[in-house]
């Protein structure tokens, strides 16, 4: 099984965000983020902050034996996992939004073309 750092790296890469953007949002340096990928154990509060940024639920990692006596891990274990952090949820929402935007753009283009045709058909009203 992959260790915690490898799991975090995979989640960051699947999020669609750059490593720099994730590091900035978590308020750590990019180099620190890369160093975390090599660690088998991460501070639970940092793990949860990264999870919030990349929309990944790492609570299941905090239930392992390495974390069972850590107070932040105990609080996280009590909390129900947030279904919105499932990896496909936000990606699906983004795809739906992009499709809707494309539909609206096409409808706008159609109406704009119709408007221009109507303007061209009107007799010009010039002052005589």
Q: Both tokens of residue 78?
A: 């009590």
Q: What is the pLDDT of residues 83-113, one digit of tens each?
A: 555 556 666 767 778 888 889 999 999 999 9
Reported pTM: 0.50
Q: Is the pLDDT of residue 63 over 60?
A: yes
Q: What is the pLDDT of residues 3-49, one digit of tens each?
A: 788 888 888 888 888 999 999 998 989 898 888 888 777 777 888 88
Any residues with CB less than 8 A from the CB of 58 and at least 6 apart, and which?
7, 8, 11, 47, 48, 50, 51
Q: Residue 120: exposed, middle, or buried by beta-carbon count in 10 A (0-12, 13-18, 19+)? A: exposed
Q: What are the sequence ranges of the domains in the chain?
A: 4-85, 87-122
- The per-residue pLDDT for 56 is 81
Spell out the CATH class of 4-85.
mainly alpha
- Could you tell me if 68 and 41 are in contact, meaning their C-beta atoms sit under 8 angstroms apart? no
């Amino acid at each position: 099984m992959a260790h915690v750092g490898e799991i975090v790296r995979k989640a960051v890469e699947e999020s669609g965000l750059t490593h720099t953007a994730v590091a900035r949002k978590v308020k750590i340096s990019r180099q620190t983020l890369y160093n975390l990928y090599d660690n088998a154990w991460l501070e639970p509060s940092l793990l949860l902050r990264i999870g919030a940024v990349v929309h990944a639920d790492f609570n299941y990692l905090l239930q392992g034996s390495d974390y069972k006596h850590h107070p932040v891990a105990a609080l996280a274990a009590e909390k129900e996992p947030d279904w919105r952090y499932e990896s496909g949820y936000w990606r699906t929402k983004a795809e739906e939004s992009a499709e809707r935007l494309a539909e609206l753009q096409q409808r706008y283009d159609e109406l704009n073309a119709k408007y221009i045709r109507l303007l061209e058909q009107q007799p010009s009203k010039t002052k005589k």
